[in-house]
Structures are given as structure tokens and as C-alpha cells.
Amino acid sequence: MSGSFVGFDRVKRLLTMKDAIGTVFEFSLRDDTKIRSANVAEQRLDEYLERNEAGTPWKASQWISIGWKPSTDGKKRVAVSVR
């Protein structure tokens, strides 16, 4: 799934994005979620958060692609990778 980056809640580990038609989606991020951006080589989310106490690897409105799977209860989207 692709769309523009809206925000990231470090405490709740939620990433929010908006697709091309304006639908907003939230994704849960786990420690083992792989992240990558123009200024961040691929690494696990937990490693990135340990090294960077503030900010996010993505800028507002940056186009991102998310690989995801449904949670075990089927109620949430769990991000596997964010690029």
C-alpha cells in the first residue's frame, strides 16, 4: 500500500498515512518492522528509535510504501516494512 506520510506516534507506535484518494490509514509498528527512507538505511524500528530520540525517518507528505499484514485478531494493520 502506498500513500503520503501523515504522522507517527512514538508512544503508541502508530504510523498514519493517506492514500491517493484521501483515505486515512493507521498501521501498528512492531520492534521488528523494517524501515527505510532517503536518509535512513534499512533497519529495524527498535534500532532506529534507540538511536534517534526525536523525529521520524519520514517527512510530512513524503510518499511511502507499506508492507503489512492483519493482526491476529484481524482488527489492526501491522506494518512489516515501511519504505
Q: Cα–Cα distance between 49 and 42 in angstroms, integer?
A: 13
Which pTM does this prediction carry?
Answer: 0.90
Supply the pLDDT for residue 13.
94
**CATH code where residue 73 lies:** 2.40.50
Check residues 31 and 53 and name the one with the higher pLDDT: 31
Q: How many domains does the chain have?
A: 1
Q: What is the mean pLDDT of residues 36-65?
A: 88
Supply the pLDDT for residue 55.
78
Burial degree of 74 (CB within 10 A; 0-12, 13-18, 19+): exposed
- pLDDT at 39 exceeding the cut of 90: no
Supply the pLDDT for residue 73.
96
Q: Cα–Cα distance between 21 and 12 in angstroms, integer?
A: 26
Host domain of residue 70: 2-82
